[in-house]
Chains A and B, each alone.
Chain A
Amino acid sequence: KQEVTQIPAALSVPEGENLVLNCSFTDSAIYNLQWFRQDPGKGLTSLLLIQSSQREQTSGRLNASLDKSSGRSTLYIAASQPGDSATYLCAVRPTDSWGKLQFGAGTQVVVTP
């Protein structure tokens, strides 16, 4: 059974510092891994999608890596800003899942000015 773990559960950094968020999963049989951002009381915003054949994806200040064999993904956010404060969720799409996503519990990030 696929399990997705995100460490740490919460993180507080001063503005300007780089953020490193970790996601691990137990079964490497996945189609892809997706990182989301969730603001309080809001929906999920897709940040990056990494296919199982890819090693990394980049979008602006965001970079996500994927090591499928070791069951790990890392989301890097460069030069953090207070607007980056949110909960970050990673989700894997198992190959036998008919498209459903298996989520981690999230990392709550606070960037202080």
Chain B
Amino acid sequence: DTAVSQTPKYLVTQMGNDKSIKCEQNLGHDTMYWYKQDSKKFLKIMFSYNNKELIINETVPNRFSPKSPDKAHLNLHINSLELGDSAVYFCASSDRGQTEAFFGQGTRLTVV
């Protein structure tokens, strides 16, 4: 039973399109995150939601809009996709204190 699952696993799309990535966790955690792993494999935080409230919004273009319908789900919508958005996007969850973070398997986004 997958703890953090995200869909789709692969996404190939043309520049200018709008796409969404979905994430769900069944761990009962109160905080969910989106991370971006660039071509150099470096992972960086994008957003974090705690109990459906946005608490971290790093310097990310406003074409990226996260949405959390409930504390078990965090989706990422990207408008007007650009070539530079190509990366692997990871969803993660934890409790906001000192607990272990768990990651999904990633969504490889390729913009052509």
Contacts and interface: CB of A to CB of B under 8 A. Distances in A.
Contacts of B94: 99
Nearest to B42: A105
B56 to A, nearest CB: 5
A42 B43 contact: no
Interface in A83-101: 87, 89, 91, 93, 98-101
Dominant SS at the A interface? strand
Interface stretch (B64-72, B75-83, B100-108): B100-108
Interface residues of A, number: 25
Contacts of A31: 97-98
Contacts of A46: 100-103
A80 interface: no
Contacts of B103: 36, 43-46
A74 interface: no
A43 B90 contact: yes
B41 A99 contact: no
A98 B106 contact: no
B42 A100 contact: no
The 8 closest A-B pairs by CB, nearest first: A43-B105, A44-B103, A99-B96, A103-B43, A100-B45, A49-B100, A31-B98, A98-B55
27 contacts: A31-B97, A31-B98, A32-B98, A34-B100, A42-B105, A42-B106, A43-B90, A43-B103, A43-B106, A44-B103, A46-B101, A49-B99, A52-B98, A89-B43, A91-B43, A93-B101, A98-B55, A98-B56, A99-B31, A99-B95, A99-B96, A100-B33, A100-B45, A100-B48, A101-B33, A102-B45, A105-B41
